[in-house]
Protein backbone atom coordinates (compact mmCIF):
# COMPACT_ATOMS: atom_id res chain seq x y z
CA UNK A 1 0.00 0.00 0.00
CA UNK A 2 1.41 3.42 -0.99
CA UNK A 3 1.82 6.35 1.39
CA UNK A 4 -1.18 8.18 -0.05
CA UNK A 5 -3.44 5.12 0.23
CA UNK A 6 -2.27 4.47 3.81
CA UNK A 7 -2.97 8.11 4.74
CA UNK A 8 -6.36 7.77 3.06
CA UNK A 9 -7.20 4.76 5.26
CA UNK A 10 -5.81 6.50 8.33
CA UNK A 11 -8.15 9.47 7.83
CA UNK A 12 -11.08 7.13 7.11
CA UNK A 13 -10.40 5.55 10.52
CA UNK A 14 -10.27 9.03 12.11
CA UNK A 15 -13.62 9.85 10.48
CA UNK A 16 -15.33 6.69 11.73
CA UNK A 17 -13.83 7.09 15.22
CA UNK A 18 -14.94 10.75 15.32
CA UNK A 19 -18.56 9.88 14.42
CA UNK A 20 -18.73 7.10 17.03
CA UNK A 21 -16.95 9.27 19.64
CA UNK A 22 -19.40 12.17 19.19
CA UNK A 23 -22.42 9.87 19.53
CA UNK A 24 -20.82 8.05 22.49
CA UNK A 25 -20.07 11.40 24.18
CA UNK A 26 -23.74 12.38 23.83
CA UNK A 27 -24.87 9.02 25.27
CA UNK A 28 -22.47 9.51 28.23
CA UNK A 29 -23.89 13.02 28.76
CA UNK A 30 -27.38 11.52 28.89
CA UNK A 31 -26.27 8.86 31.38
CA UNK A 32 -24.58 11.36 33.71
CA UNK A 33 -27.57 13.74 33.51
CA UNK A 34 -29.92 10.85 34.31
CA UNK A 35 -27.90 9.96 37.43
CA UNK A 36 -27.84 13.60 38.58
CA UNK A 37 -31.62 13.99 38.17
CA UNK A 38 -32.24 10.69 39.97
CA UNK A 39 -29.97 11.72 42.85
CA UNK A 40 -31.67 15.10 43.20
CA UNK A 41 -35.18 13.56 43.11
CA UNK A 42 -34.25 11.06 45.83
CA UNK A 43 -32.63 13.69 48.02
CA UNK A 44 -35.63 16.05 47.67
CA UNK A 45 -38.05 13.21 48.45
CA UNK A 46 -36.05 12.44 51.60
CA UNK A 47 -36.11 16.10 52.63
CA UNK A 48 -39.89 16.27 52.08
CA UNK A 49 -40.44 13.04 54.03
CA UNK A 50 -38.35 14.37 56.92
CA UNK A 51 -40.27 17.64 56.99
CA UNK A 52 -43.60 15.79 56.71
CA UNK A 53 -42.66 13.52 59.62
CA UNK A 54 -41.95 16.39 62.00
Partner 1 sequence: MREKILYALGALAALLLARNIWVMLTGLPDEAFQGAIFRIIFFHVPAAFTCFLCFFVALVASISYLKSGKMQWDSLAVSATEAGLAFGAANLVSGMIWARIIWGIWWTWDWRLTSMLVCWLLYAGYLVLRRAVEEPAQRARLSAVLSILSFAVVPFVFFSIKWFRTQHPQPVLYGEGKMDAAYRAMLYLNWVPLLMLAAVLIAIRIGQENRRRELDALRREAHSI
Q: Distance of CA 20 to CAs 12, 27, 46, 47, 54, Å?
A: 13, 10, 39, 41, 51
Binding mask 11-40 for partner 1 (x = CB under 8 A): xx-xxx-xx--xx--xx--x--xx--xx-x
* Closest separation in Å from C-beta 22 to partner 1: 5
Contact residues for partner 1 (CB under 8 A)?
Answer: 4-5, 7-9, 11-12, 14-16, 18-19, 22-23, 26-27, 30, 33-34, 37-38, 40-41, 44-45, 47-48, 51
Amino acid sequence: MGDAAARNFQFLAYGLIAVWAILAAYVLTLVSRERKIQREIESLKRILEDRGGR
